[in-house]
Amino acid sequence: MGVGNKDFMENTSRKEQILIKSAKLFREKGFEAASMRDIAKELGIEAASLYSHIKSKDELLETICFRMADELLSSIDEVNDVYFNAEEKLNTAIKNHVNIVTGDLDAASVFIREWRRLPEKKLSEFIKLRDKYEDGFKQILINGENENVFEAPDKKFAVLTILSAVNWITEWYNPKGNMTPDEIAEHLYNFILTGLKIKSK
C-alpha cells in the first residue's frame, strides 16, 4: 500500500528508502506537517519501526540538507579547480547546479525550502556551507572581472540573483516537461549573461 516502485526499491537499503520518502513528504507537506507516521505509511511499516534505522526526525532533515550541500560544494570546488576561463566556469557551475537540483527534486526542494527547520546547532553549520557555496560563485565573478569579461559592481548581489534563478527551478521544473536540464541551464546562462535587452540596440 503506497509502496509503489518495488523493483527500484529492492536494491536500496532501508535507510535510503526512508530518506527518499522523507524528502518526498517534506517537500509536499513541509517538514513539520509530514509526520513519522506518514513516512512509515509510504513504506508500508509502522512509525516506531523507523527507529530501527534512524535516530530522529531531525536526523532525516539533516541528512537530506547536508548531502545536497556537500554535493553542490564539491561541484563548485571542482569547477573552480579545473576550468580556467571565467565564462566557462560560470557556464559549468550553472549546468552542474541545474543537473544536481533536477536530479533529485525532492531533496533539492527540502534543501532550499526546509533547511530553516534544522536544529539550531546544525543550522549554523548549514549556513556556513551555503556561504561557502556562494563564495565559490563570487570567485568566478571576480575572475571574470579580472579577465574583463564580466561586470558586476555588487558581487554579493549578483551571486544572490544568480542563485535565486537556479534555485527557483524547483518551483516549476517538470521532469516530464519539454526542457532537459541542460537546455534549462543553457537558457539560464544566456539570460544571466546578456539579459533581456536586444543586443543590436
Site residues, a second copy (CB under 8 A): 30-33, 90, 113, 116-117, 141, 144, 148-152, 154, 157-158, 160-161, 163-165, 167-168, 171-172, 187-188, 191-199, 201
Cell numbers placing 82: 579545473
Q: Which residue, 17, 90, 99, 25, is CA-closest to 50?
A: 17
Give the binding range for DNA (CB under 7 A) out of 47-55, 65-73, 76-84, 190-198: 47-55
Residue 51 binding DNA, by CB under 7 A = yes
Binding-site partner at residue 187 among a second copy, DNA, none, CB < 5 to 8 Å by type = a second copy
Quick one: angle between helices 120-146 and 57-82, nearest 10?
20
CA distance 81 to 10: 38
Binding-site partner at residue 14 among a second copy, DNA, none, CB < 5 to 8 Å by type = DNA
CA angle at 181 for the pair 178 and 186, rounded to the nearest 5°: 100
| Residues between 138 and 167 with contacts to DNA, criterion CB under 7 A | none
Instruction: Give residue 22's Cα distance to chain centre.
Output: 16
The residues, any chain, with a CB within 8 Å of residue 31's CB and separated by 6 or more, are 61, 110, 114, 117
Count interface residues toward DNA (CB under 7 A).
20
* Closer residue to a second copy (CB): 20 or 159: 159
Using CB under 7 A, list all residues that contact DNA.
14, 34-38, 40, 44-53, 56-58
